[in-house]
């Protein structure tokens, strides 16, 4: 497979997912079980058709493992050993007992079963790919694991009367999971076995967007169709201390969307949410006034350009515009505008433009509102229609 990608003008190394590692370990474990061969390197086919070659080793407990390498992506699971043990089953379970036994069955090959062991997380909430009580081994990795094992069975001409149980375990997985989104998603006691492509892209954004989608699905499974989107902890704090008290301290789903406003709004449309309220700081939300829907500074940092243009539209004179240009933070800009008596009209202008861009993204498919705050000055304002959304959220919170 291709080993490198260019990100932000840097050559960065790709990694392999936990699913790919588990598939390689499963193949090695099967080689020993049915052909009595102890492999040190195996090749597995990725979902996109590429081949990946991985080093494997045998552990003292008889399982085979490979070491997770996330490449240049900041990955909490990098360096973990992904183990798989293969064992024959004398009495395969009945289909109706699989959930009770926390087992998956290959839908395409009756010979193979899969379960988790220590260090692999278990699902405790609705909305994930697996049922509650099942191990957090996602669908694509399951197919990869089963497919890799099937290659060995077919090559060894093992008949359909034989049954094999594959067990994935991850020493240190429970501690590593605390650095991932798993605790928030209701996955306990370990990491997830993941990967839709089998490859970890450096500085991957897709994993974050995927997590946002999972959270939305979970809330839908719990009956909530109205949600609050916040970029991070700062937005969550505004919700807790200002928004929810105004709604009577109702419990409403709060989804952290990081910098991915546009992706989160697209998911709101895809899942047909009834109401969305965005709550956050002006340092992030000012970028929405220019239609910038990924607010990470690596994508675009146009804060002063946006603020200066709206100040100019509200009649702020050129010398003062130049002063704004020299401010490092939006908070400093707000202080200047307050001193000049221009804060209110400039904020109103920003919110009007934010409303226009969000309306263009959502159309009339999902009603929305946005409340924008400052760490220094508190609530700055809200987009038109936010009051209506707050009433809808209060109703949703009281009935769902």
Question: pLDDT by residue (tens digit) across 275-322?
Answer: 999 999 999 999 999 999 999 877 888 999 999 999 999 999 999 999
Residue 85 in contact with residue 169, Cβ under 8 Å? yes
pLDDT band of residue 214 (cuts 50, 70, 90) is: very high
Work out the percent of the chain whose per-residue pLDDT is above 90: 66
Tokens of 259: 């910098």
Say yes or no to pLDDT of 10 above 80. no
Find, among 42, 53, 133, the residue nearest to 84 by Cα.
Answer: 42
For the chain, how big is the Rg over CA atoms in Å?
26
CA 288 to chain centre: 22
Say yes or no to pLDDT of 7 above 60. no
Beta strands in 146-201 (DSSP E): 164-169, 187-188, 190-191, 199-200
pLDDT at residue number 202: 67
Range 93-118 average pLDDT: 93
Residue 273 in contact with residue 252, Cβ under 8 Å? no
Give dist(CA 134, CA 129) in Å, integer: 10
Average pLDDT, the chain: 90
Q: Lowest-pLDDT range, 12-16, 40-44, 106-110, 379-383? A: 12-16
Tokens of 71: 């490449």
Q: What are phi and psi of 140, to 5 degrees?
A: -65, -45
Give dist(CA 8, CA 102) in Å, integer: 43
Q: What is the DSSP letter of 92?
A: P
pLDDT at residue number 150: 93
Residue 275 in contact with residue 226, Cβ under 8 Å? yes
Range 167-172 average pLDDT: 98
Residue 189 in contact with residue 65, Cβ under 8 Å? no
Say yes or no to pLDDT of 53 above 80. yes
Range 178-195 average pLDDT: 91
pTM: 0.72
pLDDT at residue number 400: 39
pLDDT band of residue 90 (cuts 50, 70, 90) is: confident
């Amino acid at each position: 497979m291709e080993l490198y990608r260019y990100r932000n003008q840097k050559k960065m190394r790709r990694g392999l997912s936990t699913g790919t590692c588990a598939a390689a370990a499963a193949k090695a474990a099967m080689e020993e079980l049915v052909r009595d061969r102890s492999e040190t390197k195996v090749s597995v086919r990725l979902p996109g058709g590429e081949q990946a070659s991985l080093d494997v080793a045998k552990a003292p407990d008889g399982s085979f493992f490979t070491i997770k390498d996330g490449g240049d992506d900041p990955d909490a699971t990098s360096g973990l050993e992904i183990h798989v043990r293969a064992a024959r089953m004398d009495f395969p379970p009945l289909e109706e007992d699989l959930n009770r036994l926390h087992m998956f069955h290959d839908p395409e090959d009756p010979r193979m079963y899969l379960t988790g062991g220590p260090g692999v997380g278990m699902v405790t909430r609705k909305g994930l790919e697996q049922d509650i009580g099942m191990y957090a081994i996602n669908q694509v990795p399951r197919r990869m694991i089963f497919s890799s094992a099937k290659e060995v069975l077919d090559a060894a001409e093992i008949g359909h009367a034989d049954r094999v149980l594959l067990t994935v375990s991850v020493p240190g997985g429970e501690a590593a999971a605390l650095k991932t989104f798993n605790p928030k998603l209701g996955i306990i006691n370990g990491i997830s076995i993941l990967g839709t492509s089998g490859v970890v892209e450096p500085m991957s954004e897709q994993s974050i967007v995927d997590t946002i989608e999972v959270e939305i699905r979970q809330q839908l499974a719990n009956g909530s169709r109205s949600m609050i989107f916040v970029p991070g902890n700062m937005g969550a704090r505004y919700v807790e201390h200002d928004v929810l008290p105004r709604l009577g301290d109702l419990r409403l789903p709060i989804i952290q969307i990081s910098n991915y406003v546009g992706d989160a709004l697209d998911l709101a449309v895809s899942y047909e949410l009834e109401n969305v309220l965005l709550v956050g700081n002006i340092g992030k939300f000012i970028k929405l006034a220019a239609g910038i829907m990924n607010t990470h500074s690596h994508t675009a940092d146009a804060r002063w350009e946006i603020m200066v243009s709206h100040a100019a539209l509200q009649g702020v004179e050129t010398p003062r515009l130049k002063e704004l240009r020299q401010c490092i933070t939006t908070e400093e800009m707000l202080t200047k505008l307050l001193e000049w008596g221009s804060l209110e009209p400039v904020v109103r202008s920003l919110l009007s433009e934010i409303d226009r861009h969000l309306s263009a993204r959502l159309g009339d498919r999902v009603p929305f509102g946005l409340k924008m705050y400052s760490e220094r000055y508190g609530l700055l304002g809200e987009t038109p229609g936010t009051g209506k959304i707050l009433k809808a959220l209060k109703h949703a919170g009281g009935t769902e």
